[in-house]
Amino acid sequence: MTQHEQEFGARPPGSPSLWEFAHARGMDRRHFLRLLVAGGATAVLAACADMAPSDATVGSQALPADGARTQVSHWFKDPAPFVVHGDKGLEARLENMQGTLTPNRLFFVRNNSVSLDLDASDWRLAVEGDAVSEPLELTYADVRSLPSRTLTSYLECAGNHRAMFHVMNGQETSGTQWMTGAVSNGEWVGAQLRDVLTLAGVQPDAASVLLVGLDVESPEEGFRYVLPVDKAMYPDTLLAYTLNGETLPRDHGFPVRALVPGWVGSANVKWLGRIVVSSERLWTRNNTTSYTLIGDDYPPQGESLGQPVTVQVIKSALALPWPAELPAGPQRIHGYAHSPSGPISQVEWSVDSGQTWNGATLSGSQPDHAWARFEFAWNPEPGDHTVMTRATDAAGNTQPERVPFNEKGYLFNQPVAHPVRVRESTA
């Protein structure tokens, strides 16, 4: 019996583990383990009976109301290492990461439908529109035959830290309530999008480049995002086909996805199938009503209800569980910071609500558009604490003290007050 089975009980193929079942009903891991030790599976199930499911989906399994188990494959990767947000996302646990690159098995996932299982030999990429002179259709082999570019870049959902509008400011937002783990960092290889647009004869009057995914169950029958032509022609905007030295995983857009460093995750369209180049500015769901900053501080732009979300913002987060519990004694804490405007130059930390700040140490390199790993030594007294971090980049941008509210909770980047309990020493 494996260690996982010893902890959570063996399970037949296709059925959720006891932990996944309990977690989907809102039980945290600490409570689960205490019940398991005290009374075994019976105690866990008894506690679950009083808890409503947080979503019909448990990991990649759906539990119908009649109790029958029907497999619904939302993802191909094992959801166990993640915080599962229904069928919409797998939030990474930063505490599981040590180095700069995020292993593929720990890389966060945000979907608008189930992950696609496509055959590369059947895949085609159409490039069309009134601002190209030579519409074309490319195969997977065609894309891979183009000159490749390798770069390291973080990828982050626009709603990462969304839950902090409520946690920090008491403001309710709509959408998946991501904490700090809707972000990961990887090494990507792909063709430059500008090479493909050049092959199609992009015209001088081109204004918009619409990226359309093959995930037809997503809104608009294929997730889509509009890039301005200058960003589409930027050298680091890629049609990516590998991640961390492996063929692009299916959950992350195999065979080919867009990679738009420094822009919100929605711009990095997965399972790419069509590119439309237009001489006019294009409007879709994702720059009019969704992926839009809507609120008193964001007046409408064009056909949008507010300000379309494009470039990310500078952020930092601790690589600790939420809330964290640490043993007594000296600690070595680490975390990650990133900015769309260049490398991180400084990270500071505070344990007195930002009245005083201490410098953290940046470790490792920050190639291309990578995030930075930081760490610091801390010797806290037993009890409850909050630890805050703030980052500054080479362009002089620093995390703000307050973020204007927007209804969908995008781009929150205030310093987060991370709760930490330090246990009493048993010595």
At 364 the pLDDT is: 85
138 and 66 share one domain: no
Judge whether residue 6 has pLDDT over 90. no
Q: What is the mean pLDDT of residues 408-425?
A: 96
The beta strand positions in 285-342, using DSSP E, are: 292-293, 307-308, 315-318, 324-326, 331-338
181-202 pLDDT, tens per residue? Answer: 999 999 999 999 999 999 999 9
> What's the pLDDT score for residue 69?
26
Q: Over 50: is that where the pLDDT of 5 sits?
A: no
Residue 50 pLDDT greater than 50, yes or no:
no
- Asked if pLDDT for residue 170 goes beyond 90, the answer is yes
Identify the domain boundary among 57, 72, 87: 72
The pTM score is: 0.83
- Domain enclosing residue 253, as ranges: 124-308
In a domain, 117, yes or no: no
| Contact between 267 and 260 (Cβ < 8 Å) | yes
At 63-101, the pLDDT tens digits run: 223 322 223 458 999 999 999 999 889 999 999 999 999
Q: For residue 167, is it within any domain?
A: yes
Lowest mean pLDDT among 37-51, 57-71, 381-395, 403-417: 57-71
pLDDT average, residue stretch 3-26: 45
Residue 64: predicted pLDDT = 29
* CATH classification at residue 195: 3.90.420.10
Among 288, 308, 328, residue at a domain's last position: 308
pLDDT, residue 425, reads 78
d(CA 403, CA 417) in angstroms, rounded, equals 14
Where a domain ends, among 72, 90, 106?
Answer: 72
175 token code pair: 């959408």
Residue 412 three-state SS: coil
- Do 187 and 148 form a contact (C-beta atoms < 8 A)? no
Same domain, 26 and 60: yes
> The CATH number of the domain where 370 resides is what?
2.60.40.650
111 occurs within a structural domain: no
- Is residue 92 in some structural domain? no
Please state, rounded to an integer, the average pLDDT across all residues of the chain.
88
Q: What percent of the chain has pLDDT over 90?
A: 80
Does residue 166 sit within a domain?
Answer: yes
Percent of the chain with pLDDT over 70: 83
Distant-in-sequence, close-in-space partners of 345: CB < 8 Å, separation ≥ 6: 392, 393, 394
Q: What letters, b where the CB count within 10 A reaches 16 and e where it falls short, cover 273-295? A: bbbbbbeeebbbebbbbbbbbbe
Q: What is the pLDDT of residues 186-243, one digit of tens each?
A: 999 999 999 999 999 999 999 999 999 999 999 899 999 999 999 999 999 999 999 9
Q: Is the pLDDT of residue 295 over 60?
A: yes
Domains identified in the chain, total number:
3
Mean pLDDT, to the nearest integer, of 249-270? Answer: 98
pLDDT of res. 181: 98
Q: SS3 for 108?
A: coil
The pLDDT value recorded for residue 67 is 28
User: How far, in whole angstroms, is CA 329 from its chain's centroid?
Assistant: 33
N-term to C-term CA, the chain = 34
